[in-house]
């Protein structure tokens, strides 16, 4: 049997110009974005991953598929040494996911063009350790919630600006009664109240939080625990102080004091509702508001709602 010299196949690959390689890298990243979108991830999640990849690419100065474990050691061990653990973990996860995409979709093509075998530079030795600190959320008790809203309701008779205070009160009561999130309450329209559905009426939450990055999910929420009475009072006695056209398409349930160019009220922002609830908790429930776990009172009102049920 005759012997023959074995030659590296990389010697016979077609030469690739810098422009072609740059275009290929752009196409690969676009394919990564499309693949993650087809998997159902929310746009914000995808933008976050791409942002992490862009920052690592800018530091590295070359396509990320050229990264070696030693490069990852230097980046996570020096550049991100003082960064929060959540940032380091998110960036490592984005890089790991990107390399998984490269291995599944472009491993052969990258080898043909560059001679490199794609392999993730994050391994068990340099993978960032740690996790985000989980805050212990202890919701207020039923008597505490009653004390909060009793005091807040009494404040409506003497407050300097009745309409914004009543709006914040109603939105917070709705969170407590039916378990809405602040972001969900801000995006409700008047037309989302379906008085004719069910025994008490229902809310059509069109911008509900999705699970596992799937994006907004719609749901119908029954107006239980007195939420129907709270909303009727607000719409009949308070809403008209913000706007005078209940029939306008897209009219927000919780308006802002600021106006659009046509004179109609804008939609309230989540900061206004959060700040209003935080101020009320400080005034009428100071012992609970001082606790470290009460830094997100709106979330805790929702926790209490879910724990007690209808």
Phi, psi (rounded to 5 degrees) for 208: -75, 155
pLDDT-derived band at 5, boundaries 50, 70, 90: low
Cα angle: 309, vertex 172, 139; to 5 degrees: 50
pLDDT (tens digit, 9 = 90+) per residue, 215-262?
A: 677 889 899 888 999 999 999 999 988 888 888 888 899 998 888 888
What the block records as the tokens of 2 is 């005759």
What's the first-to-final CA gap in the chain, in angstroms?
A: 84
pLDDT of residue 12: 46
Mean pLDDT of 176-181: 86
User: What confidence tens digit (pLDDT) does each residue in 105-161 have?
Assistant: 999 999 988 888 999 999 888 888 765 544 445 667 788 888 888 999 899 889 889
Q: What confidence category does residue 265 fall into, taking pLDDT thresholds of 50, 70 and 90?
A: confident
Q: What gap in Å lies between CA 300 and CA 294, rounded to an integer?
A: 7
CA 225 – CA 178 distance, rounded (Å):
7
**Predicted pLDDT at 296:** 58
* Neighbour count for residue 21 (Cβ, 10 Å): 15
Given a cut of 60, whether residue 304 has pLDDT beyond it is: no
State the average pLDDT over residues 7-35: 78
The model's pLDDT over 80-97, given as tens digits with 9 standing for 90+, comes to 988 888 889 999 999 999
Per the confidence metrics, is the pTM higher than 0.75? no
Task: Tally Cβ neighbours within 10 Å of residue 236.
Answer: 9
């Amino acid at each position: 049997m005759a012997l023959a010299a074995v030659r590296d196949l990389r010697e016979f690959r077609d030469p690739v110009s810098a422009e072609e390689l740059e275009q290929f890298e752009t196409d690969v990243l676009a394919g990564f974005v499309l693949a993650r979108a087809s998997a159902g991830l929310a746009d914000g999640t995808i933008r976050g991953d791409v942002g992490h990849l862009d920052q690592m690419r800018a530091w590295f100065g070359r396509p990320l598929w050229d990264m070696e474990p030693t490069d990852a050691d230097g980046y996570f061990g020096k550049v991100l040494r003082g960064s929060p653990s959540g940032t380091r973990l998110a960036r490592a996860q984005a890089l790991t996911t990107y390399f998984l995409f490269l291995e599944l979709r472009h491993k052969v093509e990258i080898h043909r063009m560059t001679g490199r075998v794609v392999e993730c530079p994050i391994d068990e030795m340099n993978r960032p350790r740690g996790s985000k600190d989980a805050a212990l959320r202890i919701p207020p008790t039923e008597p505490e919630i009653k004390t909060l809203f009793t005091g807040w309701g009494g404040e409506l008779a003497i407050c300097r600006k009745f309409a914004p205070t009543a709006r914040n009160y109603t939105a917070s009561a709705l969170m407590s009664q039916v378990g809405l999130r602040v972001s969900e309450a801000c995006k409700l329209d008047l037309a989302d109240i379906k008085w004719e559905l069910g025994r008490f009426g229902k809310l059509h939450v069109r911008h509900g939080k999705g699970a596992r990055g799937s994006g907004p999910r719609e749901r119908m929420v029954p107006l239980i625990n007195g939420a129907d009475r709270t909303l009727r009072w607000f719409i009949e006695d308070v809403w008209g102080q913000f706007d005078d056209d209940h029939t306008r398409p897209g009219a927000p349930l919780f308006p802002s004091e600021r106006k659009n160019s046509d004179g109609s009220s804008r939609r309230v922002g989540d900061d206004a509702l959060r700040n209003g609830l935080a101020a009320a908790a400080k005034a009428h429930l100071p012992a609970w508001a001082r606790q470290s776990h009460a830094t997100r009172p709106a979330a805790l009102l929702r926790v209490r709602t879910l724990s007690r049920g209808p």
